[in-house]
Amino acid sequence: MSNPYEAIPAIILKTFDETPNIRTFVLKPEQEIPFMAGQFIELTVPGFGEAPFTPSSSHFKRDILEMTIMKVGKATGALFGLKPGDTVGVRGPYGKPYPLEKFAGKDIYIVGGGVGLAPLRALFLALTHEIDKYKRIYLRYGARTPNDIVYRHLLPEWEKLPKVDVDLSVDVSDEKWMKKVGVVTCLMDEIPCDEKTSIAVVCGPPIMMKFVNQRLLEAGFQGENIYLSMETNMSCGVGQCRHCRLGPYLTCKDGPVLTWAQIKDIENPFV
């Protein structure tokens, strides 16, 4: 019987600094982790702890896992001290993937904030890999300053993709910034897709999710079409320990992505 609490080794192939406190780690696990966009893995920094992260790479290329991680606590602090060639542990995949079958033939309106673009990138790559299946992909992304934008080297390429529409904002600009200034909802004054049928996917800090969700509802998006990445404390990742309870859900098992229709009755879902 396999042991669900145990990680397998993964070697750090390379790292890339996205911003001063966000870094992308390219990992090669000993065995392939068969994840789908939206699912997460538990990442162990040996000796320092374990935390859940959603891969940001494409699920069509599973021999490596790219994880874009912000330095916030003990485990991520230690992770930032590791170098290519060092070993970490991974277990998973856990949770439910984005239901891509429900996205087929529709406009997909993706809204990200800060490091929240990381899991959305896995979704974006999965969608653009089979772009014929979807109507059009809108990506709206906001960061605090131009220096806090993740995937800066990739965004210009994404803008050029067919059937893809990208728009960016920063809360505080610098002299070189040519796009919008303001929180990410400033990109949502006009939503160029059919609100009744389109899919919205949101990931970012809780306060950003709260206001983006509110804006989407005002615009007419249906609760069951708004997909929100819910951040909760997780320990086991496998639906047992109950740390991640959110209303009647365990985000590790039922999430981490839940629709607004699922969580609308929960008191303060965005804490």
Partner 1 sequence: MDPFLLSSSQRNQWLSKLLERFVVYVPIELEDQVHWHRLKPADLDSGADVITPALRRIRASEPVKSFMFAPREQVGAFPEKQEPTESKTRVLLGVKNCDLVPLKVHDKILTDGEFKDPFYIARRKNTILVAADCPVPEESCFCNLLGLTPYAGDGADAVLSVSDDGYLFEVGERGQELVRVAPELFQEVGASDARVTKRDTERESAVAALSRINPQPLSPDLSAAVAVRRKDESFWQRHAEKCVECFGCLMGCPTCYCFLLYDQAKEKGLDRTRVWDACYLAAYARVGGGANPRAEFVKRFANRFICKFSDFKTDHGMYACSGCGRCFKACMGKIDIRKVLAEL
Residues that bind partner 1 (CB under 8 A): 1-7, 9, 44, 46-51, 72-73, 75-76, 87, 89, 206, 231-233, 235-236, 238-246, 248, 267-268, 271
Which residue's CB is nearer to partner 1, number 49 or number 223? 49
| Contact yes or no for 97/15 (Cβ under 8 A) | no
| Contact yes or no for 193/218 (Cβ under 8 A) | no
CB of 151 to partner 1, least distance (A): 21
- CA triple 37-249-54, angle to 5 deg: 25
Closest to 115 measured CA to CA, from 233, 209, 12, 48: 209
Which residue's CB is nearer to partner 1, number 54 or number 225? 54
CB of 44 to partner 1, least distance (A): 6
CB of 11 to partner 1, least distance (A): 11
Closest to 142 measured CA to CA, from 103, 175, 173, 119: 173
Tokens of 251: 């985000």
Classify 181 as helix, strand or coil.
Answer: strand
List residues bridging with 41 in a β-sheet: 53
Which residue's CB is nearer to partner 1, number 115 or number 168? 115
Tokens of 59: 């699920």
Number of H helices, E strands in the chain: 7, 15
Which residue's CB is nearer to partner 1, number 187 or number 236? 236
CB of 90 to partner 1, least distance (A): 10
The whole-angstrom separation of Cα 64 and Cα 8 is 14
CB of 178 to partner 1, least distance (A): 31
| Contact yes or no for 35/41 (Cβ under 8 A) | yes
Which residue's CB is nearer to partner 1, number 89 or number 142? 89
Which residue's CB is nearer to partner 1, number 55 or number 225? 55
Residues 6+ apart with CB under 8 A from 208: 113, 114, 116, 142, 183, 184
CB of 210 to partner 1, least distance (A): 12
CB of 10 to partner 1, least distance (A): 10
Which residue's CB is nearer to partner 1, number 7 or number 37? 7
